């Protein structure tokens, strides 16, 4: 009898999924559409539809307009026909939904109007990643970070590398990603200095402190960068390595043993500009300018912001002084330093650096007006030119990082008309490449489905936003919105890629994070890695799904996404990926 019941359930599920594949279904941006942005919905079907029509209705059921769809040139498995519905003409704020003419198929409800302040939720997620004292758990952690390796000091010499942020579901700390995260916090603040809440204090605990929460978090990041640069000729770039990966644990219950017992000392890797590794896996390296340049640019941003706030002038000055010395370190050792691994081949494989030095030089010119910095920025800008992951059909993990060249944007801000034109052309060349790829699929997205693909989607939207600021042209608004749509549910799985955003919609739940796996607590505002090309996904080590795939009937053949804690490659929230959302979410909330 038990076997008969199991067989019946299996048959019912297969039948249900078959119906789901065969029946038309509507895809919309679950988070909605800002009033003045392009708006598109998709109808997916396994049968051709003559003159497809969707009715746009208000939440009360009042008909707004009937929209006729146009068939997309391409389709993705498991649906053979895609129809696009452009309803950009609708700008009235409110709640809406689509339905077919016979009323049998309806979309989820969605909003038209400015986005809520979801960037505040992203800041709150970043806060939960704090190391040293974690306000989410209320516990101190990793108080013995770290012991120096490869540096000017004798190996195993104690240095103060406490603080900073845990990078993802694990508890490693990287300057590669933390520097960029800190910069995005500061840049988002500069977009609207009076537009952020103050609900927590410097420790991240409830209670205002006359400093916006986004600046509390940025200062946390700046302080860690300063610790990793303890003298003018020293820079550390990573604390801990993949020996951390011993199952889920809360930060204060560290079980990794680096040779001094569990919950004890962890290595702090010095940036030498040479390949590193304490086991069989060695990183690649040609210099340290990516780390030194990006950290210098971030510290100048810190100076710009905190020098304007009473009581923080001394801190601001320390940021500027360290920015100068880091920049000099970068000039002396041009090249890149990658992340380090120990027991697995995975590491951050960044191999660009001129963009970071361009960024630092342009920022230093802005605050000092010294012409040598402007000349340096131009030289570095010409070196990197339009080179970006956007120019490629594939890339290694974090190969060309950061995913938006902020050096070009910074030089555009301070350069002459010739500089500005050149920077705009670099950005446009990248965006045109993305646009060409986007035209080849029904979702209108052109990012790569490599590891952390969602970061790339957010980067496309951000670069399109900056291009609009630089030119005044809205040429790439459809490209911007399509990539935001993808992240917010207009995708094969009809699921947002941001935890608990939007509210009351399908979002990542079973994420690869200790707070979820151990405490059964979800943290709002984190961007998960995102879908991977199937050819990459099937080669990832140690992935064995913990439960049947709820999206099995929706999975395209060429890419995969699982909402499963056991899939660290598509469903792990990341620090810098979440920070990649800050600028674009701020932009879309300021209608």
pLDDT per residue as tens digits for the range 356-386: 999 999 999 999 999 999 999 999 999 999 9
Domains annotated for the chain, with CATH where assigned, are 31-112 (2.60.40.10), 118-493+573-589 (1.50.10.10)
Q: pLDDT-derived band of residue 6, with 50, 70 and 90 as boundaries?
A: very low
Q: pLDDT-derived band of residue 245, with 50, 70 and 90 as boundaries?
A: confident
Burial (Cβ within 10 Å: 0-12, 13-18, ≥19) of residue 99: middle
25-27: strand order across its sheet: 25-27, 40-45, 81-86, 70-71
pLDDT of 280 over the 60 cut:
yes
CB–CB of 559/531 below 8 Å? yes
pLDDT of 3 over the 70 cut:
no
When mean pLDDT is compared across 258-262, 445-449, 577-581, the lowest value belongs to 258-262
Q: What is the mean pLDDT of residues 307-318?
A: 98
Give SS3 for 257: strand
pLDDT in tens, 161-170: 999 999 999 9
Planar angle of CA 153, 325, 318, nearest 5 degrees = 100
Q: pLDDT-derived band of residue 297, with 50, 70 and 90 as boundaries?
A: very high
Which pLDDT score, from 0 to 100, does residue 52 have?
97
Q: Where are the alpha helices (DSSP H) in 448-552?
A: 453-471, 477-487, 514-519, 534-537
Q: What is the mean pLDDT of residues 444-473?
A: 98
Give the whole-angstrom CA distance, residue 470 versus residue 146: 43
Which pLDDT score, from 0 to 100, does residue 421 have?
98
**What share of the chain has pLDDT > 70, as a percent?**
96
Instruction: Give the Å distances, CA to CA, from 198 to 195, 204, 213, 438, 452.
Output: 10, 11, 5, 40, 31
CB–CB of 251/224 below 8 Å? no
Q: What is the mean pLDDT of residues 9-28?
A: 57
Which pLDDT score, from 0 to 100, does residue 2 have?
34
Which pLDDT score, from 0 to 100, does residue 148 have?
97
Tell me the average pLDDT of the chain. 95
CB–CB of 437/555 below 8 Å? no
Q: What is the mean pLDDT of residues 307-333?
A: 98
Q: What is the mean pLDDT of residues 39-54?
A: 97
Q: pLDDT-derived band of residue 184, with 50, 70 and 90 as boundaries?
A: very high
Which pLDDT score, from 0 to 100, does residue 390 have?
98
Which pLDDT score, from 0 to 100, does residue 15 have?
38
pLDDT of 22 over the 90 cut:
no
Q: What is the mean pLDDT of residues 398-415?
A: 97
Q: What is the mean pLDDT of residues 171-177?
A: 97
pLDDT of 17 over the 80 cut:
no
Which pLDDT score, from 0 to 100, does residue 7 have?
37
Instruction: Give the Å distances, CA to CA, from 505 to 14, 107, 375.
Output: 24, 12, 50
pLDDT of 398 over the 60 cut:
yes
DSSP letters spanning 65-118: EEEE-EE-S---TT-SEEEEEE-TT----EEEEEEETTSS-BPPPEEESPPP-H
pLDDT of 401 over the 50 cut:
yes
Q: What is the mean pLDDT of residues 14-28?
A: 63
């Amino acid at each position: 009898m038990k076997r008969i019941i199991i067989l019946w359930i299996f048959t019912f599920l297969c039948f249900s999924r078959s119906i789901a594949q065969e029946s038309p279904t509507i895809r919309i941006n679950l988070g909605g559409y800002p009033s003045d942005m392009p708006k598109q919905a998709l109808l997916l079907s396994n049968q051709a539809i003559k003159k497809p029509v969707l009715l746009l209705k208000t939440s009360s059921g009042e008909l707004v307009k009937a929209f006729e769809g146009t068939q997309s040139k391409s389709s993705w498995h498991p649906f053979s026909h895609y129809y696009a519905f452009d309803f950009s003409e609708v700008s009235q704020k409110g709640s809406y939904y689509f339905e077919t003419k016979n009323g049998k198929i309806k979309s989820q409800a969605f909003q038209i109007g400015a986005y809520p302040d979801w960037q505040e939720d992203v800041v709150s997620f970043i806060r939960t990643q704090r190391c040293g004292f974690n306000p989410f758990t209320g516990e101190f952690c990793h108080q013995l970070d770290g012991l120096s390796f490869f540096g000017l000091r004798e190996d195993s010499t104690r240095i103060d590398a406490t603080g900073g942020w845990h990078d993802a579901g694990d508890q490693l700390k990287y300057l590669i990603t933390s520097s960029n995260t800190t910069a995005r916090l500061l840049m988002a603040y500069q977009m609207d200095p009076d537009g952020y809440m103050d609900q927590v204090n410097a420790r991240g605990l409830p209670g205002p402190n006359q400093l916006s929460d986004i600046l509390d978090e940025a200062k946390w990041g700046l302080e860690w960068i300063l610790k990793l640069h303890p003298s003018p000729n020293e820079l550390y770039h990573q604390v801990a390595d993949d020996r951390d990966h011993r199952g889920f644990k809360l930060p204060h219950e560290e079980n990794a043993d680096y040779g001094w017992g569990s919950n004890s000392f962890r290595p702090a890797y010095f940036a030498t500009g040479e390949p590193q590794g304490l086991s069989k896996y060695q990183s690649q390296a040609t210099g340290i300018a990516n780390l030194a340049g990006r950290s210098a640019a971030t510290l100048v941003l810190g100076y710009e912001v905190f020098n304007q706030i009473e009581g923080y002038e001394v801190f601001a000055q320390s940021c500027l002084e360290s920015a100068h010395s880091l920049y000099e370190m970068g000039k002396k050792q041009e090249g890149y330093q990658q992340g380090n691994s120990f027991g697995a081949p995975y590491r951050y494989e960044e191999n660009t650096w001129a963009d970071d030095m361009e960024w630092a030089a342009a920022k230093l010119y802005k605050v000092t007006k010294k012409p040598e910095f402007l000349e340096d920025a131009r030289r570095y800008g010409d070196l990197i030119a339009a080179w970006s992951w956007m120019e490629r059909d594939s890339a290694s993990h974090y190969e060309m990082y950061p995913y938006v060249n902020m050096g070009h944007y910074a030089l555009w801000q301070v350069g002459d008309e010739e500089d500005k034109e050149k920077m705009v052309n670099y950005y446009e060349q990248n965006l045109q490449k993305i646009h060409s790829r986007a035209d080849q699929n029904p979702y209108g997205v052109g990012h790569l489905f490599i590891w952390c693909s969602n970061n790339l989607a957010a980067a496309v939207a951000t670069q399109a936003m900056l291009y609009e600021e630089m030119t005044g042209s809205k040429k790439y608004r459809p490209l911007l919105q399509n990539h935001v749509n993808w992240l917010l549910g207009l995708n094969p799985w009809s699921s947002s890629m941001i935890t608990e955003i939007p509210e009351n919609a399908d979002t990542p739940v079973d994420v690869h994070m200790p707070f979820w796996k151990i405490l059964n607590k979800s943290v709002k505002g984190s961007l998960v890695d995102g879908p991977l090309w199937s050819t990459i996904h099937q080669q990832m080590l140690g992935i064995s799904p913990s439960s049947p795939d709820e999206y099995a009937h929706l999975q395209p053949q060429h890419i995969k996404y699982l909402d499963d804690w056991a899939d660290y490659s598509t469903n792990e929230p990341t620090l810098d990926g979440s920070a990649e959302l800050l600028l674009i979410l701020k932009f879309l909330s300021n209608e």
